[in-house]
Structure 1
Amino acid sequence: MKTLVMGAGAIGSVFGGFLSNSQDVTLIGRVSYISAIRKKGLRVSGIWGEHLFKNLKAFTSADECREISPYDLILMTTKSYDTEYATMQILPLIGNNSIVVSVQNGIGNEETIAKIVGKERTMGGMAIFGAMMMEPGHVKVTVYASECLFGTISGGIKRAKTVAEIIAKSGIPSLPTDDIIREKWMKVFYNIALNPLSAILKVRYGVLGKYDETRSIMRGMLQEAFEVAEAEKIGLKFTCEDYFERLIERQLPPTADHISSMLQDLERGKRTEVDFINGAIVRMGKRHNIETPVNETIVNIIKALGKMHGASAP
């Protein structure tokens, strides 16, 4: 199977590296990163061991991949604000039986991809592990909470089972699901509560569960998000209070040492994905006439911090 990772950052590199043990893998990423991989290979370290992957093709643009396309499996691991552009770039690399899988944070990526490549070729994926870019060509797996999940958005689970099985065999625990949108909302709740607040306070995730004040802010963001999700008819399995208890007792402990992606982005002067996480709740809240003051405040603080750190704005 020929696999393309579009947007080879930390998470995409982990998928690409492990898959390269048994698949024909191509990475597309930034010039400095791809140059390092071409020279030294891709190093993945951390809790899943020390690995050096050299059996990879690495390019800086989709145009360079045309001669070896079409790809059977395309993992979209770009930032959410780049999804539409990246999908247009990979369109010439897609064949009749290709699958494009969004393994991204935030809400709405699958819908964006489906509008371009078709629902029948679109899947959603959830990475339930964390990784950090240590230097060009080297990523570190820092935390692992649960199996990755994969599912179609057009019904049926057969293709999801195939993708999950391939990725699981590569060494990344993975399972299929028959409702990936609902499952991705569960990860969005996790990101809503932890990602921006840890960036604002410059702390690891575990710190946020220790104080009444931070718990109160997290609960406020989640209450708004759950109200919006209900208006969107997501079909949630439990209440906000049930989820908050689950977050504190089950999800935080294994990811306590994680450094949020928003904090990493801010420190590097990069744009964050807050518009596609907390910002998505604010937008959908307005559509349903639901007030979201806590999330709106958090979004404004993250955007202000971004400007202070010199991040580019949309």
Structure 2
Amino acid sequence: MKYTVLGAGAMGLRYGVLLQEAGFDVDFVEIWDPQINKIREQNGVFVSRDHENKHLVPVNIYTPEEYKGNPDVWIVFTKQMQLEDALKRTAHAFNDNQYVVSPMNGMGHIDKLNQYFDKSKVIGATALIGTVLNGPGDVDFIGAAGAGSMHMANETEKPDDVTNQIVEEFTKANLNPTLTTNFLGTLMAKVIFNSVVNTLCTMFEIQMGEFIQSPVAEKLGRQLINEAFDVCERANITLLNTREEEWQTVKFVSSTTNPLHYPSMYQDMSKGRNTEVDYINGYIYELGLKYHYEATTHDYLRNLVHLAEFSRDFDPATLTKETADA
């Protein structure tokens, strides 16, 4: 099948390049001009693995407005905050025959995708695959070839022939997909994972392998996991894992699969971009409120990230004498 990746950032490039290398026709649509311009200037994207073997991979990249392709499957990998604009700009290229797979971080994207694609063709997904965008046109795949995994689930929870073909082709591309029939449970399992690893690594500017070696990693992780499971139980969401299995996943991915990885939230923070914390820890907290439960640790951690964003961008020159003397 033909694939088009909407959102050619770190993860979008990894999925698209791996599918392209597996023999499939892939286009990229991007909304960040520096990325488009750099890839066109150098006639491709530079790809490394664990900071080594940097090489140029030719790719086709377009702005949403200029894209005229007709893929069988869209793979959507924008940031949550950018998705609405990206979909609106690309809507002319959508049609009723196309499927969409979205392994984005956080929650909030499914409702937006449903405005353009029928639920029978929406496949939610998660990705435990570390990738870093070093800069425009320069991506680093973290982990050995074949490292990482993903889960996929149809929004209708009724896999069809096209879904099975996508799983087969993703397998050929070394993306290690597992198909489930538990849509919300699949997506929320990754939200919970990110609510621990992404947020804590970001706050302390550390790699996943460094986090997991801390003597307090397990205590912090289990506290966040337990609150999130409490929320999901009240919302009648059956998760893929037990609480213990969720912690063991955090532990294994951090120590074995991606110990050298800085999570995407850290990458956003360090490069002056807004983070997706409202769609991860914030989503868990807001979902809990609907069922009269306060996931206070998640809310506290979300607010700490926002404070870090504020302090990162704060200009001391704006301080008044009264504020400084207070």
Give the TM-score, by structure 2 length.
0.86
State the SS of the aligned residue for 1:224: helix
Q: Which moved more, 1:156-165 or 1:9-18?
A: 156-165
Give the counterpart of 1:219 among 208, 217, 222: 222
Measured after TM superposition, the shift of residue 252 of structure 1 is 2.4
Q: Which of residues 35, 40, 44 in structure 2 aligns to 1:38?
A: 40
Shift of 1:32: 1.4
Q: Matched residue of 2:130: which SS?
A: strand
What amino acid maps onto 2:206 in structure 1?
V
CA deviation string 1:34-56 (max 9, x = no partner) = 122112212221059655321x3
What is the Cα deviation at residue 147 of structure 1?
A: 2.5
One-letter amino acid of the structure 2 residue matched with residue 207 of structure 1: E
1:5 is matched with 5
- Rounded to whole Å, the distance in 2 between the matches of 1:33 and 1:107 is 25
Do the aligned residues in 1 keep the contact of 2:186 with 2:240 (CA within 8 Å)?
A: no
CA contact (8 A) 2:6 2:28 kept: yes
- 1:113 aligned partner: 113
Specify whether residues 238 and 9 from structure 1 end up closer, same or farther in structure 2 by C-alpha distance, changes over 3 A only.
closer
Q: In structure 1, give the amino acid aligned to 2:198.
A: N
Q: CA deviation at 1:208?
A: 2.3
| Residues 72 and 95, structure 1, Cα contact 8 Å, conserved in 2 | no
Q: 1:88, 1:116 within 8 Å by CA — same for their partners in 2?
A: no
Structure 1 range deviating more: 172-181 or 229-238:
172-181
Which residue identity is paired with 2:218? R
Q: Which runs of 4+ in 1 moved over 4 A?
A: 47-51
User: Which residue of 2 is the match for residue 297 of structure 1?
Assistant: 300
Compute the displacement of 1:126 (Å).
Answer: 1.9
Task: Show structure 1 runs of 5+ residues with no match.
Answer: none
Secondary structure in 2 matching 1:209: helix
CA–CA distance in structure 1, aligned partners of residues 301 and 38 of structure 2: 36
Q: 1:162 aligns with which of 141, 162, 165?
A: 165
Considering only aligned residues, what root-mean-square deviation do their CA atoms show, in Å? 2.2
Distance 1:232 1:98, change over 3 A: same
Count how many residue pairs are aligned between Structure 1 and Structure 2: 306
1:213 is matched by which residue type in structure 2? V
Answering whether residue 238 of structure 2 is matched by residue 235 of structure 1, we say yes
Whole-angstrom CA distance in 1 between matches of 2:215 and 2:135: 36
> Helix, strand or coil for the counterpart of 1:71?
coil
Question: 1:15 corresponds to which residue?
Answer: 15
Q: Deviations over 1:215-248 (max 9, x none)?
A: 3222221111111111222212544244324432
CA shift digits 1:235-269 (9 cap, x unpaired): 12544244324432x33222222112111111111
Where does 1:83-122 land on structure 2 (aligned, <5 Å)? 83-122=83-122
Partner in structure 1 of residue 206 of structure 2:
203
User: What is the match of residue 180 of structure 2?
Assistant: 177
Q: What SS does structure 2 have at the residue aligned with 1:227?
A: helix
**Matches of 2:26 and 2:212 in 1, distance apart?**
39
Query: SS of the counterpart of 1:95?
Result: coil
Distance 2:17 2:311 in 1: 35
Query: Which residue of structure 1 aligns with residue 29 of structure 2?
Result: 28
Q: Kindly state the Cα deviation for residue 113 of structure 1 after the two structures are TM-superposed.
A: 0.9
In 2, distance between residues paired with 1:108 and 1:143? 28
Instruction: State the shift of 1:291 in Å.
Output: 1.4
Contact kept? 1:262, 1:272, Cα under 8 Å:
yes
Contact 2:157 2:183 in 1 (8 A): no
The whole-number CA distance in structure 2 between the counterparts of 1:39 and 1:18 is 22
Q: Which has the larger radius of gyration?
A: 2
8 A contact 1:165–1:175 mirrored in 2? no
Tell me which amino acid in the other structure corresponds to 1:121.
Answer: K
Deviations 1:101-160 (A, max 9, x none): 112001232232113322122111222211001222110011375432322111322232
Q: Give structure 2 stretches of 5+ with no counterpart.
A: 315-326
Q: Distance in 2 between matches of 1:259 and 1:44?
A: 17
- Structure 1 residues 51 and 150 mapped into 2: Cα distance closer, same or farther (>3 Å)? farther
- What secondary structure does 1:127 align onto? strand
Q: State the alpha-carbon separation in 2 of the partners of residues 245 and 31 from structure 1.
A: 40
**What is the TM-score with the length of structure 1 in the denominator?**
0.89
